[in-house]
């Protein structure tokens, strides 16, 4: 289980899963969402403005102050949401955008490793009776979509077949019905039949 860090900025509360090394993708999504929803992501999406001088306009001064606040809060949120032993291995910088990029370079998972992990998760899924059979099958469909996005298309017929094989013996009548029919079922057909059996 991953722990989370919760904070409240501008009347918006957000939680960020603590980066442990293996959960970089989730951490990145949490950071981007939390900083955006709190409206403090300016330093994450724009370069540092020019330093303020005596001739700077009011608009430039306000923008600089807003960027500085954003930078400070983003850095604090990121550093607070990284395990201490990992934080020590990251470069020191006072720029939130640079720090975010450095974390990304350190913990980015290769697409091949991620695809392998998704395939392992899909093939290892077994229905355990928790959460309902619909959710179980839709989880497989979700993994199928993630794999398709990585140019690993799996046909719906594979998902239907694998889903049936992942069901316990209490669904044997549905398995037999599928195996004795000549036409194949859609994912929605399978869900309908399995949910009816479950109820």
**Whole-angstrom Cα distance, residue 58 to residue 102?**
33
pLDDT band at residue 192 using 50, 70 and 90 as cut-offs:
very high
**CA 104 distance to own-chain centroid:** 14
pLDDT, tens only, 7-57 = 776 677 788 999 987 788 889 999 999 999 888 999 999 999 999 999 999
Q: Which two tokens stand for residue 30?
A: 């949490």
Tens digits of residue pLDDT in 105-163: 888 766 777 888 889 999 999 998 888 999 999 999 999 999 998 889 999 999 999 99
Residues forming beta bridges with residue 9, ordered by sequence position: 12
The full set of domain ranges for the chain reads 4-107, 111-198
pLDDT above 90 for 63: yes
pTM: 0.60
Confidence of residue 167 (pLDDT cuts 50, 70, 90): very high
Q: How far apart are CA 136 and CA 163, in angstroms?
A: 8
Is 13 within 8 Å of 7 (Cβ atoms)?
Answer: yes
């Amino acid at each position: 289980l991953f722990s989370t860090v919760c904070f409240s900025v501008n009347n918006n509360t957000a939680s960020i899963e603590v980066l442990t090394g293996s959960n970089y993708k989730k951490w990145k999504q949490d950071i981007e969402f939390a900083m955006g929803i709190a409206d403090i992501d300016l330093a994450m999406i724009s370069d540092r403005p020019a330093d303020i001088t005596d001739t700077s306009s009011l608009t430039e001064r306000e923008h600089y102050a807003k960027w500085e606040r954003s930078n400070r809060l983003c850095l604090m949120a990121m550093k607070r949401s990284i395990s201490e032993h990992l934080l020590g291995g990251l470069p020191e910088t006072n720029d939130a955008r640079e720090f975010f990029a450095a974390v990304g370079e350190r913990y980015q998972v290769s697409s091949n490793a991620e695809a392998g992990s998704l395939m392992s998760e899909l093939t290892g899924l077994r229905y355990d009776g928790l959460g309902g059979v619909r959710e179980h099958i839709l989880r497989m469909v979700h993994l199928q979509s993630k794999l398709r996005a990585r140019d690993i298309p799996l046909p719906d017929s594979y998902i239907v077949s694998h889903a049936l094989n992942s069901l316990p013996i209490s669904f044997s009548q549905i398995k037999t019905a599928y195996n004795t029919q000549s036409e194949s079922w859609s994912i929605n057909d399978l869900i309908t039949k399995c949910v009816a059996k479950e109820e």
